[in-house]
Structure 1
Amino acid sequence: MQFDSFSDFIAMGGYGFYVWLSFGTCAAILLGILISSLNDKKRIFKAVADQLIREERIKKAKQEQNS
């Protein structure tokens, strides 16, 4: 589809409101998924690091008990 001007492109043949609303909604949802995924990744990495620290602490305590 070819447009004569930028305003015709924005209007999208009279359907511009719906077209741009759907693009905006899709972009917002994708951005929300990205942010959520990054937060989950950070939370999981922290949980794993905390678990490793706990396991090391337990291992040390058992070694001290046996000594």
Structure 2
Amino acid sequence: MAFSSWTEVISMGGYGFYVWLSFGISLAALAALMVHGILTRRSLQQQSKQQQQRQQRLARRKQQERSR
């Protein structure tokens, strides 16, 4: 489908509102998924770090108890 002007591209033969709305919703959904993924990754990294620190503290306590 060839368009002769940018106005025709935007109007899409009368269906432009629906076409551009669907593009906008799709882009918004992809952006939301990216943000959610980034936030989830940060949260998991933080939880993993906290768990490793807990395990290190428990290991140190066990060693201290054994040395007594």
Q: TM-score range by the shorter chain?
A: over 0.9
Post-superposition Cα deviations, 1:14-52, rounded to whole Å, max 9, x if no partner, equal 000000000000000010000000000000011001000
Percent of pairs with identical residues: 37
AA aligned to 1:54 is R
Q: How many residues align?
A: 67
Any gaps of 5 or more consecutive residues in structure 2?
none
List 4+ stretches of structure 1 deviating above 2 A: none
Q: Indicate yes or no: 2:36 matched with 1:53.
A: no
CA distance in 2, matches of 1:41, 1:7: 43
Any gaps of 5 or more consecutive residues in structure 1?
none
AA aligned to 1:53 is Q
CA distance in 2, matches of 1:13, 1:22: 16
Q: CA RMSD in A?
A: 0.4
